[in-house]
Amino acid sequence: MSTAVAEDKKAETKLSQLDQLKKFTKVVADTGDFESIKDFKPQDATTNPSLIFAATQKEKYAHLLTEVIADRKSSGLSGAAQIEDIIDHLLVAFGCDILQIVPGRVSTETDARLSFDTGGSIKKARHLIELYEKRGIDRKRVLIKIASTWEGINAAEQLQKEGINCNLTLLFSLPQAVRCAEAKVQLISPFVGRIYDWYKAANKRDYTGVEDPGVQSVREIYTYYKKFGYNTEVMGASFRNVGQIIELAGCDLLTISPELLDKLSKSQEPIERNLDPAKAKDADVKKLELDEKTFRYLLNDDAMATEKTAEGIRKFAADIVKLERVIASKL
């Protein structure tokens, strides 16, 4: 090895794992905590009902909810419509503050209770984008998060045609990913950690490295997309440990919690690129032909994907209800 190459390698090992990862993957902060976003300097940020609810319970962010309630009290709405209006404005208020920190995009989630309502999801997405645009935010900087149900993907397909970019979340299987790509969705969020959780509990054993089922799922989706030339971005999400992140180094994007971002920033162990579009092009992969009947059957046939999609929708819906109760108590 030449002296110059040796010096370059030595300099590279001095970089934190987070900085090494940023060389070939867009790092996204999975949080509603502005301070964490400032600390780790991600490209984008994602939120969801659970993160927003948790943030509003913290003293340093409580003022956002107070301000939105004060501003929307004179909206002329009452009851459930008023609470829904306040939540929409709260989501956008968080998103706008996050966009003052990150250079890229923020993901804002629709109501999980609309997961099987194509029309309702479209209407909600249009409204959220309208609120962002009224505050001077270009729609290109916002991703609308929708669950990866058949109805949710159909909603996203229409929204993409209108220039409203979508992030299809609660995604646990290749059929969901393929349907999203065919719908020309901007981005998908396969949930690594929740897949890992399911297999760990079902098989009563731990998984590490490339044998991790969550890691395998994202690798399969990434390879399929690059093999067949889909433009939909793959963003691994819901990580349980740093090992899962390192195995997916090279993925288009990875959305990572502050706790794991902190661990990556404190380690200087070398990271290698594990996902490469050039290698994916040569993979032996068969094209999956999907219509609605095939999609529903394949999803139903995958116990993990069926259970985790349903569970995720229930949990996000429950946190929206908690937020509604907090708001109702303040009105």
DSSP 197-240: HHHHHHHTS---GGG-HHHHHHHHHHHHHHHHT---EEEEB--S
Task: Report pLDDT digits (tens) over 257-309.
Answer: 999 999 999 999 999 999 999 999 999 999 999 999 999 999 999 999 999 99
Kindly indicate the confidence band of residue 51, based on its pLDDT and cuts at 50, 70 and 90.
Answer: confident
**Res 62: pLDDT:** 87
Kindly indicate the confidence band of residue 49, based on its pLDDT and cuts at 50, 70 and 90.
Answer: confident
**Res 26: pLDDT:** 96
More confident call, 32 vs 149? 149
The CATH number of domain 16-330 is 3.60.15.10: no
**Res 47: pLDDT:** 84
**Phi (first) and psi of residue 190, to 5 degrees:** -70, 135
Task: Report pLDDT digits (tens) over 216-235.
Answer: 999 999 999 999 999 999 99
**Phi (first) and psi of residue 189, to 5 degrees:** -125, 85
Angle at 104 (CA atoms; ends 103, 108), nearest 5 degrees: 125
Percent pLDDT > 70 in the chain is: 96
CB 142 within 8 A of CB 106: yes
The structural domains of the chain, with segments of one domain joined by +, span: 16-330
Kindly indicate the confidence band of residue 9, based on its pLDDT and cuts at 50, 70 and 90.
Answer: low
Is 145 an active-site residue? yes
Task: Report pLDDT digits (tens) over 172-216.
Answer: 999 999 999 999 999 999 999 999 999 999 999 999 999 999 999
Catalytic one among 26, 124, 145, 227? 145
Average pLDDT (97-103) is 94
